[in-house]
């Protein structure tokens, strides 16, 4: 049996091949381009790599062109966490020495000794991986948009509180096109106080508003003309310039988030698992796409529902030493899936009578706080999702929460 380890870098990679006795068979230093990839594949073929019996590969990343080349065919590629690789390095040397060829050898030996305890990259379909790219990008864009909006809000509080009062009644506040046009027309309180009704109406029209323009313009005029404290004129103008620079970033982040959301809406429904995911209460297109992006569509990825729950961070973990024992939430988990799980559970409380009953029982009978009750609900629902995906069934409320459905029917009667 031959094992391959690759120490990944930005421009070059070190490759090591070992046999089942731990003897180094070959090592290479390849470049990160098509020529380097051909050298790697030729090296693997020289030592018996074939379509029927590919050589497993360990590498410290799960992304990039090199990983895409290695994943062709039936080859198992293991993405080893760099922290885990560092611990394995100490098994072979206590001097703390480190080198790129040595790290490649360590990765190969990880597969030789402990391949059974590491999980290979899932064999997801191309469509599933495309959904994962778009869903994660949309999630990142949403987080980036919120971060910039928070920075803009903090800045406006320093010199322009009237702008915050003006957009307070709008859904999504500073992220709305009306807010952007208003701040462009009046970047400072002094300029905002001089805006006329026609200028405010023109700003609202540029933002795409069709109804209630006159009423809204009058409201904005009254809010922006309220007497308030001011920064010195030169400082106020400088803060206005800073605000406009942040506004450009926020506009770009809003556009990116909206465009990626449209791309997800076009791609995700094409996936065969979309019907099952969307049948669950609390899961819309965007949130369901995020869940699919993290669990994938490889049915063999998780041996059972417990593995998926641990991966999502919804199941508790027990820490015991001597006479002391404690049950706490998991810290090592898929953070993206865990974040989507909280949103999913929060939405399911209002969308599913059984989920609401389960949540209230955790709060009232078990004394859980809100976050703990939501995590428990997510733990149950992701187990149900695993069952539905394995058996190709859609969600059934009466089967998922039989005690909740009975309670809701009794309350209705």
pLDDT digits (tens, 9 = 90+) for 322-356: 888 887 888 888 999 999 999 999 999 999 999 99
User: What is the maximum span of the chain, computed from C-alpha positions, in angstroms?
Assistant: 83
Residue 123 inside a domain? The answer is: no
- Whether residue 110 sits in one domain with residue 77: yes
Question: What is the pLDDT, as a whole number, of residue 86?
Answer: 85
Over residues 2-14, the mean pLDDT reads 92
Contact partners, residue 118, CB within 8 Å, separation at least 6: 58, 78, 80, 110, 111
For residues 12 and 87, membership in a common domain is answered with yes
294 and 313 inside one domain: yes
Give pLDDT tens digits for 196-253: 999 999 999 999 989 889 999 999 999 999 888 889 999 999 999 999 999 999 999 9
Residue 124 lies in a domain: no
Domain end, chosen from 242, 266, 290, is at 266
- Would you say residue 122 lies in a domain? no
| Tens of pLDDT, residues 257-301 | 999 999 999 999 999 999 999 999 999 999 999 999 999 999 999
Q: How many domains does the chain have?
A: 3
Cα-atom radius of gyration of the chain, to the nearest Å? 28
Q: Please tell me the distance from the alpha carbon of residue 314 to that of residue 341, in angstroms, as a whole number.
A: 8
Domain shared by 253 and 285, yes or no: no
Give me the residue label for tokens 């290979």.
120
Do residue 309 and residue 362 come from a single domain?
A: yes
**pLDDT(93) > 90:** no
- What's the whole-number average pLDDT of the chain? 90
pLDDT-above-70 percentage for the chain: 97
Q: Residue 340 falls within a domain, yes or no? A: yes
Rounded Cα gap, residues 359 and 407, in angstroms: 13
| Domain final residue pick, 266, 296, 328 | 266
φ/ψ (deg, to 5) at 12: -135, 160
User: How far lies 196's CA from each of 47, 170, 206, 220, 393, in Å?
Assistant: 79, 21, 16, 10, 60
47-90: per-residue pLDDT in tens?
A: 988 888 999 999 999 888 999 999 988 899 999 988 888 888 87
Q: Is residue 249 included in any domain, yes or no?
A: yes
Tell which residue, 335, 346, 330, 405, has the closest CA to residue 378.
346
> Are 112 and 55 within one domain?
yes
Encode pLDDT of 158-169 as tens digits. 999 999 999 998
- Coil, helix or strand for 93? coil
* Three-state DSSP state, 13: strand
Residues 150, 253 within the same domain: yes
pLDDT of residue 178: 93
pLDDT of residue 413: 37
| Total count of residues recorded for the chain | 413
The answer to whether residues 394 and 309 belong to one domain is yes
**Does residue 254 sit in the same domain as residue 314?**
no
The β-bridge partners of 6 are 15, 59
Nearest to 11 by CA among 28, 27, 33, 34: 33
The token pair that represents 225 in the structure block: 């003309």
The DSSP code for 115 is G
Using an 8 Å Cβ cutoff, are 285 and 265 in contact? yes
Q: How many CB atoms within 10 Å of residue 61?
A: 13
- Domain region containing 357: 275-412
**Whether the predicted pLDDT of 412 surpasses 50:** no
Residues 285 and 260 in one domain: no
Q: What is the mean pLDDT of residues 189-195?
A: 91
**Alpha helices (H) along 207-232:** 213-224
Residue 149 lies in a domain: yes
- Cβ(224)–Cβ(193) under 8 Å? yes
Contact of 128 with 226, CB cutoff 8 Å: no
Would 83 be classed as within a structural domain?
A: yes
Residue 10 · residue 32 · CB < 8 Å: yes
Domain boundary among 266, 286, 315: 266
Q: pLDDT band for position 404 (50/70/90)?
A: low
Could you give the residue ranges of the DSSP H alpha helices within 47-81? 65-70
Same domain, 143 and 223: yes
Residues 280 and 216 both lie in one domain: no
Does residue 409 carry a pLDDT above 50? no
What the block records as the tokens of 255 is 């556009």
Domain membership of residue 362 (yes or no) is yes
Identify the band that residue 411 occupies on the pLDDT scale cut at 50, 70 and 90: very low
pTM for the structure as a whole: 0.85
In degrees, rounded to 5, the angle at the alpha carbon of residue 332 between the alpha carbons of residues 329 and 336 is 95
Question: What's the CATH code of the domain at 95?
Answer: 3.30.420.40
Is the CB of residue 100 less than 8 Å from the CB of residue 9? yes
């Amino acid at each position: 049996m031959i094992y391959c380890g690759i120490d990944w870098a930005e421009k070059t990679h070190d490759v090591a091949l070992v046999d089942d006795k731990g003897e180094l068979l070959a090592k290479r230093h390849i470049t990160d381009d098509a020529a380097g990839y051909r050298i790697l594949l030729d090296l693997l073929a020289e030592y018996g790599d074939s379509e029927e019996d590919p050589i497993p590969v360990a590498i410290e990343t799960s992304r990039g062109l090199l990983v895409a080349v290695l994943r062709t065919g039936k080859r198992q590629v293991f993405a080893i966490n760099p922290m885990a690789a560092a611990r394995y390095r100490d098994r072979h040397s206590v001097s703390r020495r480190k080198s790129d060829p040595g790290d490649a050898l360590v990765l190969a030996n990880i597969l030789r000794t402990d391949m059974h305890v590491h999980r290979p990259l899932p064999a997801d379909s191309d469509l599933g991986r495309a959904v994962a790219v778009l869903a994660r990008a949309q999630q990142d864009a949403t987080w980036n948009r919120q971060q910039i909006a928070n920075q803009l809000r903090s800045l406006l509080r320093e010199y322009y509180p009237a702008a915050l009062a003006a957009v307070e009644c709008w859904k999504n506040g500073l992220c709305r096109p009306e807010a952007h046009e208003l701040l462009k027309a009046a970047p400072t309180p002094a300029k905002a106080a001089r805006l006329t009704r026609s200028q405010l109406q023109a700003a609202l029209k540029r933002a795409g508003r069709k109804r209630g323009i006159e009423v809204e313009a009058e409201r904005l005029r009254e809010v922006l003309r309220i007497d308030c404290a001011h920064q010195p004129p030169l400082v106020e103008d400088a803060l206005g310039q800073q605000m406009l620079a942040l506004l450009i970033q926020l506009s770009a982040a809003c556009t990116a988030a909206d465009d990626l959301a449209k791309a997800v809406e076009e791609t995700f429904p094409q996936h065969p698992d979309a019907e099952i995911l969307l049948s669950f209460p609390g899961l819309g297109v965007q949130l369901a796409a995020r869940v699919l992006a993290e669990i994938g569509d490889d049915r063999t990825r998780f041996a059972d529902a417990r593995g998926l729950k641990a991966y999502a961070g919804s199941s508790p973990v027990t820490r015991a030493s001597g006479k002391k024992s404690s049950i706490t939430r998991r810290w090592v988990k898929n953070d993206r899936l865990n974040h989507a799980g909280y949103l999913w559970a929060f939405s399911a409380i209002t969308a599913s009578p059984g989920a609401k009953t389960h949540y209230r029982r955790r709060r009232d009978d078990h004394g859980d706080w809100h976050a703990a009750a939501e995590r428990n609900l997510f733990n149950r629902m992701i187990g149900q999702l695993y069952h539905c995906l394995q058996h190709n069934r859609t969600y059934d409320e009466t089967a998922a929460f039989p005690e909740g459905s009975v309670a809701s029917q009794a309350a209705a009667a």
